[in-house]
Amino acid sequence: MNVLFVCTGNTCRSPMAEALLKKKAPHIQVQSAGVFAHPQDSANKNAVQALAERDLHLVHSAQPVTKKLLKWADLVITMTKAHKQLLLDQFPKYEDKYYTLIAFALGEEDDQNGDITDPFGGDLSMYKQTLAELEKYIDAFIHKLDT
């Protein structure tokens, strides 16, 4: 199984989700990208620190969403409804692969349960809160894949 996590700049949420899933489900191939990513941007220092405090080490370079990545992925998991909508607008061919993390994890057809909090610009505690939120839904995501 190939999973692509998508957020805005590919420096905070999607790399943290990628690191969590790689650690918790090493049999799954994982990458991350951003709808507005600047290639080669590094991960946010607070994202790296929040992960390091959980013994997860992140070495990351941002990459934009591409057709090649979307073709590679079996599932494309977005952090927000807006990210999903941008993908639908720009790459409608891959529509059947797109889910928000919360909707997929909860097994819901719609995206009414909100978005993963964006910690960008926040302090380390905000990144830790987003990491905890991601972990909750990544655990549910793995459970759903295993059932």
Active site residue 13: yes
- How far is it, in rounded angstroms, from Cα 70 to Cα 55? 30
- In tens, the pLDDT along 60-118 reads 999 999 999 999 999 999 999 999 999 999 999 999 999 999 999 998 877 777 899 99
- How far is it, in rounded angstroms, from Cα 75 to Cα 72? 9
Active site residue 12: no
- How far is it, in rounded angstroms, from Cα 14 to Cα 34? 8
Overall fold of domain 2-146 = Rossmann fold (3.40.50)
Q: How confident is the model at residue 29 (pLDDT cuts 50, 70, 90)?
A: very high
| Residue 10 pLDDT > 90 | yes
pTM for this entry:
0.97
Q: Which of 12, 13, 111, 115 is catalytic?
A: 13
Active site residue 7: yes
